[in-house]
Amino acid sequence: RIFDQFAKSRNPHPLPPPTLFSNPQSTMNESSATATSSSTTASSTGNVSSNADENARKVQIYKDNLISRAENLIIKEFPERIVRLNALLETSQFAHRNFSDVYQELNIPVPPPIVVETGSGDASTNAAKRQRLNSSYGVDGEGGGTNVLALPTGRVDCNKAISELILIVKPVIRALVEDSNLLKMWISFMIPKIEDGNNFGVSIQEDTLSEIQSVETEAATFFDQISRYFVTRAKVVSKVAKYPHIDDYRRAVAEVDEKEFLSLWLVLSEVRNRYCSLHDIVIKNMEKLKKPRSSNTDSLY
């Protein structure tokens, strides 16, 4: 009782107990915030769906354009390229051309021979004379060849005839790589979904796709062959500069050039043959490539 009186004296106006009902204004604010959040979520979901539909439409347009380009490539452009390659192989740059036509003299002169006088004297004196002679003529004293600091007549150029042929062949190789890639994607888009039975047409598509992939890989290796030619020739030319008195290295440079000339002719012929084989296999199986599964298979059973 004394404690209650003391509490009343300290707080004569106590706060009312909390009610079970919330403030109407705060409830309305919370409802509006929830509605705004819901509308924002719905709007973002709608934007994502709209973007997905737009991207799907663009992808379908890309597929349709690729299919149209591939069919035009097979029917119209492949025969034209085969005819152009045949005409190119019959030109004077490739047909009936002698290996001597691609020979190019190296711009590396042969230095004068070193004359070493032999006479009486001790071994140390002769060694000192030999060292002075080697240093004056730029010869490595340990048998490592001539110390090449600079060529007296300037740089050693690439083989002009081979370089001209490479400028002709490289665009042809690139075109074959691009065409093979286009046909590969075209057949990939033509392959239907996986089902049980009636897969004979699909097997034709897979075999044709494998052939196109091998053509693409082989065409890509032709570029590596050209780069390896320049590296190999540069190494042999450096040997000529270091050992100018050895004619075998000079002959090796000529052999490398002749080999590359024959390789370029062979590459151009192989590109022509690959175009012919791809055109032949696609034209013969065009119906199965475009429609691997017929619609009237049920009547066969």
* pLDDT 10s digits, 39-93: 666 566 767 788 888 999 999 999 999 999 999 999 999 999 999 999 999 999 9
pLDDT the model gives residue 235: 96
Q: Give the other-Cβ count within 10 Å of 106's Cβ.
A: 19
State whether 128 and 173 are in the same domain: no
pLDDT the model gives residue 151: 74
**What residues make up the domain containing 177?**
57-111+155-293
State whether 167 and 141 are in the same domain: no
Spatial contact of 236 and 256, defined as CB atoms under 8 Å apart: yes
Among candidate residues 71, 73, 23, the one with its CA nearest the CA of residue 290: 71
pLDDT the model gives residue 199: 79
Amino acid at 236: V
The confidence band for 131, taking pLDDT boundaries of 50, 70 and 90, is: low
The pLDDT tens digits of the residues spanning 231-287 come to: 999 999 999 999 999 999 999 999 999 999 999 999 999 999 999 999 999 999 999
Q: Give the other-Cβ count within 10 Å of 33's Cβ.
A: 10
Tally of structural domains, the chain:
2
**Domain contains 39:** no
State whether 133 and 269 are in the same domain: no
Supply φ then ψ for residue 246, to 5 degrees. -95, 110
DSSP secondary structure of 39-85: HHHHHHHHHHHHHHHHHHHHHHHHHHHHHHHHHHIIIIIHHHHHHHH
State whether 225 and 240 are in the same domain: yes
**Domain contains 135:** yes
Gap between the Cα atoms of 221 and 191, Å rounded: 28
**Burial call 173-190: b when 16+ CB within 10 Å, e when fewer:** beebbebbeebbbbbeeb
* Run of H or E including 220: helix 200-242
CATH number at residue 219: 1.20.120.180
Q: What is the maximal distance between C-alpha atoms in the chain?
A: 141
Residue 110, helix vs strand vs coil = coil
**Domain contains 12:** no
Spatial contact of 244 and 110, defined as CB atoms under 8 Å apart: yes
The pLDDT tens digits of the residues spanning 10-48 come to: 555 555 555 544 555 555 555 555 655 666 665 667 677
Gap between the Cα atoms of 132 and 141, Å rounded: 10
Q: Which span out of 33-47, 88-102, 140-154, 172-186 was modeled with the highest average pLDDT?
A: 172-186
State whether 236 and 106 are in the same domain: yes
167-173: long-range pairs with CB below 8 Å, 24+: 168/88, 168/93, 169/222, 169/226, 169/264, 169/267, 169/268, 170/223, 170/226, 172/85, 172/268, 172/271, 173/219, 173/222, 173/223, 173/267, 173/271
Token output for 280:
């032949």
